[in-house]
Amino acid sequence: MHRRKFIRDASLATAGLTILNFPVFGKNAPSNKVVLGVMGLNGRGSYLANCYSQLPNVEIAYICDVEEEAIKKGFEALKDAPRKPELIHDIRKLVEKKDFDGLVVAAPDHWHTPAAILGASHGKHVYVEKPCGQNPHEGELISQALHKYGKHIQMGNQRRSMPSLIEAVKEVRNGAIGDVYFAKAWYTNDRKSIGVGKHVPVPKTLDFNLWQGPAPRKEFQDNLVHYNWHWFWHWGTGEACNNGTHEIDCCRWFLGGDYPTQVTSSGGRYAYKDDWQTPDTQVASFEFGNKGTIIWEGRSCNNFPVEGSSRGFIIYGKNGSLINLGGGDYKILDIKNKVLKEVKSEVAPDPNNTQSANGNLDFYHFKNFVGAVRGENELTSPVNEGSKSVLLCHLANIAQRTGVTLKCDPKNGRITNSPEAMKLWQRTYQPGWEPKLV
């Protein structure tokens, strides 16, 4: 995103506090101030830093990154904030600071769980972006950390805090479309080839050792940093976890399921021949016994819309359907497809915006996290709930990589029929960097 557009969007976010009629929560007393540190600043992290700094009685005391341009973006995002943040490059040193309350994690996926555990184990509340882990085992670890350390850990699946979707879930559970049994979600984009990378010296602007952190060391290549790590299994989790998490989470939320009984996936890397390892085209199915099924379609390199939108979901029931087109919107239709109710999104979504697909609507989620830190409300998406949806995405990737139809234990989601697939349940770590609950 260009600098001018970022500043414009930041200004809109400020206006959003009024446009969306957010109540001022808590008293602006020093004892009620929430002080945060933000890890990962290249894109989403700078946006998060800017947004959190605008909430009443919230300060960003620290920013943490390992690359100079990302750090510049962080300082730029906070240039109008009353407090100038201190830069700390190493997250291990940041969490040792005693003078802040919460850690916001927006680093690459392989850092999500290790950083969150570092924060919680040092007494910090944690807001961690999806997918909150690079593999299923990390979902188990971060959920254990939630209970062990007694700190709030919120995942960044922002739709869980949108009032319109909270109301939509209530309507569905009150029978608005009858018993629900099927859900369909989708995401489309027109991403270009990442080419074939060359092994080159690490740029002087990047501390690649700290960037890799818990991931076993690999040689630097010139098509990895910043964004393309998403498409390498060693660091990223593909489109399923990158964007599918949001709508898959909504489908599971509306259907009321926990863990699947069976997962299948088909697709591949079709659009280009390059270093991209994860699927650019994927159709995954998640069965929940006789309770229902979720299907997700991801097309990273062909953005032909579904229902006129690049992303969204549909919930199907015995008496009708509910459709969402990517934001806080929804329609309820009867069994003959007559529209019974239509709620429009407060903000027009931008499905392929890498900083915020839903603009000001994200503030509901940020407000929810800060309110929980203050003891004013419960989290709308504690990580032990959010990680159940992320697990679906991980299982889709495991099914895709192994070509196996996965049978899963409905009590915990673990794979029961394939030892080969279970090898992908967790990863190896760089010695000395293993995430540990201490």
pLDDT tens-place string over residues 418-430? 999 999 999 999 9
Mean pLDDT of the chain: 93
Residue 171 predicted with pLDDT over 70: yes
Euclidean distance between CA atoms 345 and 159, whole angstroms: 12
Per the CB < 8 A criterion, the answer to whether 296 and 396 are in contact is yes
Least confident stretch, 57-66, 216-225, 341-350, 365-374: 341-350
Q: What is the pTM of this model?
A: 0.92
**Tens digits of per-residue pLDDT, 309-358?**
999 999 999 999 999 999 999 999 999 999 999 999 887 777 666 677 67
Q: Per residue in 84-134, pLDDT tens? A: 999 999 999 999 999 999 999 999 999 999 999 999 999 999 999 999 999
DSSP code string of 130-178: TTS-SSHHHHHHHHHHHHHH---EEE--GGGG-HHHHHHHHHHHTTTTS
3-state secondary structure of 382: strand
Per 3-state DSSP, the chain is made up of helix, strand and coil in percentages (nearest 5) of: 35, 20, 45
| Predicted pLDDT at 359 | 74
Q: What domains does the chain contain, in order, with CATH numbers?
A: 3-159 (3.40.50.720), 160-194+224-352+382-422 (3.30.360.10)
Tens digits of residue pLDDT in 51-95: 999 999 999 999 999 999 999 999 999 999 999 999 999 999 999
378-426 pLDDT tens trace: 999 999 999 999 999 999 999 999 999 999 999 999 999 999 999 999 9
For 275, counting Cβ atoms within 10 Å of its Cβ (0-12 exposed, 13-18 middle, 19+ buried), the class is middle
- Report, in angstroms and rounded to the nearest whole number, the Rg of the chain calculated over CA atoms: 21
